[in-house]
Amino acid sequence: MDKVKFKIRPWEISDLKSLVKHANNLNIAKNLTTKFPYPYTETDGKAFIEFAIKDNPIHIFTIDINGEAVGGIGIHPQTDIFIKNAELGYWLGEPFWGQGIISNAIKQIIDFAFTHYDIDRIFARTFGTNIASQKVLEKNNFILEGSFKKVLFKNGEYLDELVYAIRRKKINE
């Protein structure tokens, strides 16, 4: 099977229709924070795009396939005593799952983050029930650093949170 060609690029207001089309999916929203609502409306999409394009440098991108925004990936630098860390977040429209897109997008965003930010660690938090996300992080050499039992509360139930990370270099411990 040929690899799906995609690119990572900044969001544009013209992406609103495709953003809502792909984001308005319970199977995506159930694995993300409540900041990613379901149903996902045009109002949600417009607010998100405005948020995503306000920083310099841009660090929240769309995953673009044939000119259509089909997902998102971002790196979120931390502050204060966590300043040497950045959080990775991502999602992808369900029709594109299982094609290696997110795995390759993560590789690109890791390179971007370590090039553009003075950080030593990129971490990602995933629901304990999101096995696909855990596997894609492990495939990209993220190490499970912690497992927290029943600390997330979403849709009326407690869920586990797993924290994965990758480091620029080995830090003396």
Domains of the chain with CATH codes: 7-167 (3.40.630.30)
pLDDT in tens, the chain (173 residues): 457 899 999 999 999 999 999 999 999 999 999 999 999 999 999 999 999 999 999 999 999 999 999 999 999 999 999 999 999 999 999 999 999 999 999 999 999 999 999 999 999 999 999 999 999 999 999 999 999 999 999 999 999 999 999 999 765 55
Long-range contacts of 91-96 (CB under 8 A, 24+ apart): 91/23, 91/28, 91/31, 91/32, 91/36, 92/22, 92/28, 92/63, 93/21, 93/22, 93/23, 93/25, 93/28, 94/22, 94/25, 94/27, 94/28, 95/22, 95/70, 96/4, 96/65, 96/70, 96/71
- Helix (H) / strand (E) containing 28: helix 26-29
CA distance 46 to 114: 29
- Percent of the chain at pLDDT > 90 equals 94
pLDDT of residue 39: 98
Six-digit token pair at 144? 């499970």
Contact, 37 vs 91, CB < 8 A? no
Q: Where are the beta strands (DSSP E) in the chain?
A: 7-10, 60-65, 68-77, 85-92, 121-127, 143-154, 157-167
